[in-house]
A = this chain, B = another copy of it.
Amino acid sequence: MDIKTLENIDINLASISKINEVDFENLTFGNTFTDHMLICDYENGVWQKPVIQPYAPFTIDPSAKVFHYGQAIFEGMKAYKDERDDVWLFRPDQNFERFNKSATRMAMPEVPEDVFMGGLKRLLEIEKNWVKKGNGNSLYIRPFMIATGKGVVAAPAVFYRFMIILSPAKSYYSGEVKVLIAEHFSRAANGGIGAAKAAGNYSAQFYPTKLANEKGYQQIIWTDDATHTKLEEAGTMNVFFRINDTLYTAPTSERILDGITRKSIIELAKRENINVDVRPVLVDELIDAAKNGTLKEIFGAGTAAVINPIVGFSYKEDYFELPKIEKSFALDLKEKLTNIQYKVAEDTFGWTVKI
């Protein structure tokens, strides 16, 4: 894939950069933003000329539909810098495609490729100093779209705003992660919006996650809402289970986000001759495997953390600790994947795209 820089764009550069004020060694995830942002408005059925301008608050009407009816979607991707100072994206075509799928599900307009991809390239060219070298460093990219159209009547807006903001990130380490398996709460309905990266899916998880946190669990593994018997995904990650030497993960569905890390891990594991079985994984199976010692690993997979090993899980008041193992699939696959992302290993899949 080759991305063409967007030429039809207005650029209004910041007079001074904030970059020297930033402590790149002590970044917390998602709280620092670069000097510029991209904005493109959709008015009466037409995408307007995009603009890159200094990162700053913007004005919006109190009756904007995003506030009342939650028409809002986003993507999460990363830019990496290699040893030759080239900047790379990882499978950005997948993010672009998924963004427009989310848009359709939320009755929002699709964003054209030249705005999303070409605009992103242009923005990254301007902000390339914000992408730091070294394993774990990256520039987190947040494209999003909100309904700016006015009116407190529950119907799709006619005005929208697409934006891209950028946040420098250190390697994401969330400490030892213990998870709770959901018995009552759910993140998605059959025929609902779980497969879209829609804003409303995330706030729905905050309260149950807070309850889990209070019990000492950092995250929840969601189960299907109808029976709570199938293991589906974590808050912002897909989830893998290793029983003996096979990796299991749920098939994507209307309830589960089609994660790019997940699908990359599946391909990578196959290349490494690891058995991968994509099929519904039952809570009961997991408990049995934990009890009889065949459960070796559980890990989450997503852009922010890449792979996040889980040390234990709780279900119906029972806590199951995962064994410490020597040859961890999680750590091995994480290394192989990040080596591709940082251009340390050869990208035999053609996943990386140069800016």
Q: Interface residues, chain A, CB within 8 Å of chain B?
A: 28-31, 33, 37, 55, 57-63, 65-72, 74, 76, 104-107, 140, 142, 144, 146-147, 150-156, 163, 165, 167, 182, 184-193, 198-208, 210, 225-228, 235-236
Partner of A200, one of B30, B58, B199: B199
If A67-B144, A68-B199, A144-B67 touch, does A59 touch B57 (CB 8 Å cutoff)? yes
Chain B: minimal CB distance from A191 (Å): 4
Copies of this chain in its oligomeric complex: 2
If A165-B62, A186-B189, A225-B192 touch, does A107 touch B71 (CB 8 Å cutoff)? no
A-B contact pairs, 18 of them (CB 8 A): A30-B63, A33-B62, A33-B63, A37-B62, A66-B67, A67-B74, A69-B203, A107-B203, A154-B202, A184-B191, A187-B192, A190-B226, A192-B192, A198-B200, A200-B200, A200-B201, A200-B203, A226-B226
Q: Say whether B167 contacts A140, CB under 8 Å.
A: no
Chain B: minimal CB distance from A141 (Å): 10
- The closest CB in chain B to the CB of A192 belongs to B186
- The closest CB in chain B to the CB of A202 belongs to B69
Q: Say whether A193 contacts B204, CB under 8 Å.
A: yes
Partner of A68, one of B55, B71, B202, B210: B202
If A203-B198, A204-B200 touch, does A151 touch B31 (CB 8 Å cutoff)? yes
A106: chain B residues within 8 A (beta carbon): 203-204, 206-207
A146: chain B residues within 8 A (beta carbon): 67
A31: chain B residues within 8 A (beta carbon): 150-151, 153
Q: Say whether B57 contacts A190, CB under 8 Å.
A: no
A153: chain B residues within 8 A (beta carbon): 28-31
A29: chain B residues within 8 A (beta carbon): 153
Whole-angstrom CA separation of A72 from B202 in the bound complex: 11
Chain B: minimal CB distance from A302 (Å): 10
If A62-B55, A107-B203, A225-B226 touch, does A152 touch B142 (CB 8 Å cutoff)? yes
Chain B: minimal CB distance from A102 (Å): 11
A227: chain B residues within 8 A (beta carbon): 226
Whole-angstrom CA separation of A204 from B106 in the bound complex: 6
Partner of A57, one of B37, B61, B156, B235: B61
If A191-B185, A206-B156 touch, does A69 touch B199 (CB 8 Å cutoff)? yes
- The closest CB in chain B to the CB of A222 belongs to B191
Q: Say whether A70 contacts B105, CB under 8 Å.
A: no
